[in-house]
Amino acid sequence: MVYAASFADIFKNSFLNNFESIDPWQIALAFAASLLLGIGIFFVYKHTFAGVLYSKSLGFSFIMLALVTTLVIMAVSSNMVLSLGMVGALSIVRFRSAIKEPVDIAFIFWALAVGIVNGAGLVGLSVAGSVIIGATVIIFANFKTKYHPYVLVIDLEPEYDEAKINALLKAKCKKFSVKSKTLGQNGADMTVEVRLEEKDLKIVNELNRFSFVRNAALISFNGDYAG
């Protein structure tokens, strides 16, 4: 019984009472850094967003992720018993929200990394890393290419000249790739992925001059261009 009591006292003094050793100023600094860096991640995401529909709630979640992760890491690092329980509790958490853009995953990991590093007390590393990551994201997001991807949809008469269409595409497009072609008794439909200069969109007018073209539409495309 003496050995059991001694072990219990050692265990209690080593783990259960470690909360008292946390510096309140360190807690305040970690949460302040997570809050400011989370806001920074939110504005970088908003400034560099290039998807179809911007989600304000997702941007706000970056701030919450940084703060919540900081809280969890500080609690885990200061209490061994709580860390074991936290591992078991977090193992049953399941996230059902679908990530629409691949870059959103990178921003989520960025916010989590900020919370982890700040929770571990490495605020300087968190700030320096966030500055480098944010600058890199902004530089690459503002990098504009000369040619932009578009989807060209062409509605054709039954008797159409595909050679003329291909000749026009070769002359006006940097690259093009036929994605689909549907033939029917009333005509044909073609979907072509093209690379054009942003200000040079006259290809639609030139296609409509062909007698066998009923209608031509050019749609901006934000996906990956293959070819």
Q: Do residues 137 and 158 both lie within one domain? A: no
Closest listed residue to residue 184, CA positions, set 206, 227, 214, 141: 214
Q: Do residues 172 and 213 both lie within one domain? A: yes
Q: Do residues 35 and 54 both lie within one domain? A: yes
Considering the domain boundaries, does residue 225 fall inside one?
no
Considering the domain boundaries, does residue 170 fall inside one?
yes
Amino acid at 224: D
Considering the domain boundaries, does residue 227 fall inside one?
no
Q: Which of the listed residues 117, 141, 165 is the one where a domain comes to its end? A: 141
- Whole-angstrom distance, CA of residue 114 vs CA of residue 210: 58
Q: Do residues 208 and 114 both lie within one domain? A: no
The 3-state DSSP class for residue 152 equals strand
pLDDT of residue 81: 55
Q: What is the DSSP string of the chain?
A: -HHHHHHHHHHIIIIITGGGGS-HHHHHHHHHHHHHHHHHHHHHHHHH--SSS--HHHHHHHHHHHHHHHHHHHHHHH-HHHHHHHHHHHTT--------SHHHHHHHHHHHHHHHHHHTT-HHHHHHHHHHHHHHHHHHHS---SEEEEEEEEEE-SS--HHHHHHHHHHH-SEEEEEEEEEETTEEEEEEEEEEETT--THHHHHHTSTTEEEEEEEE--S----
Query: Under a CB-based contact definition with an 8 Å cutoff, are residues 194 and 224 in contact?
Result: no
Q: Do residues 41 and 130 both lie within one domain? A: yes
Q: For each successive 10 residues of the chain (227 residues), what is the average pLDDT?
A: 51 52 82 94 88 77 90 75 56 60 86 90 91 90 73 84 82 80 82 75 80 81 49
Q: Do residues 208 and 119 both lie within one domain? A: no
Q: Do residues 94 and 15 both lie within one domain? A: yes
Considering the domain boundaries, does residue 93 fall inside one?
yes
Query: Under a CB-based contact definition with an 8 Å cutoff, are residues 98 and 55 in contact?
Result: no
Q: Which of the listed residues 112, 141, 170 is the one where a domain comes to its end? A: 141
Amino acid at 116: I
pLDDT of residue 40: 94
Q: Which pair of tokens denotes residue 227? A: 């070819």
Considering the domain boundaries, does residue 210 fall inside one?
yes
Q: Which of the listed residues 100, 126, 141 is the one where a domain comes to its end? A: 141
Task: Tally the residues of the chain.
Answer: 227
Beta carbons within 8 Å of 50's beta carbon, 6+ residues apart: 141, 222
- Whole-angstrom distance, CA of residue 115 vs CA of residue 120: 8
Considering the domain boundaries, does residue 226 fall inside one?
no
Instruction: Name residue, tokens 């039954």.
Output: 158
Q: Do residues 125 and 59 both lie within one domain? A: yes
Q: Do residues 42 and 90 both lie within one domain? A: yes
Considering the domain boundaries, does residue 6 fall inside one?
yes
Q: Do residues 71 and 22 both lie within one domain? A: yes
Query: Under a CB-based contact definition with an 8 Å cutoff, are residues 218 and 152 in contact?
Result: yes
Q: How many domains does the chain contain in total?
A: 2
Q: Do residues 136 and 179 both lie within one domain? A: no
pLDDT of residue 224: 46
Q: Tell me which residue range forms the domain holding 123.
A: 2-141
pLDDT of residue 226: 41
Q: Which helix (H) or strand (E) holds 109?
A: helix 102-119
Q: Do residues 9 and 87 both lie within one domain? A: yes
CATH of the domain at 202: 3.30.70.60
- Whole-angstrom distance, CA of residue 169 vs CA of residue 182: 19
pLDDT of residue 88: 54
Considering the domain boundaries, does residue 44 fall inside one?
yes
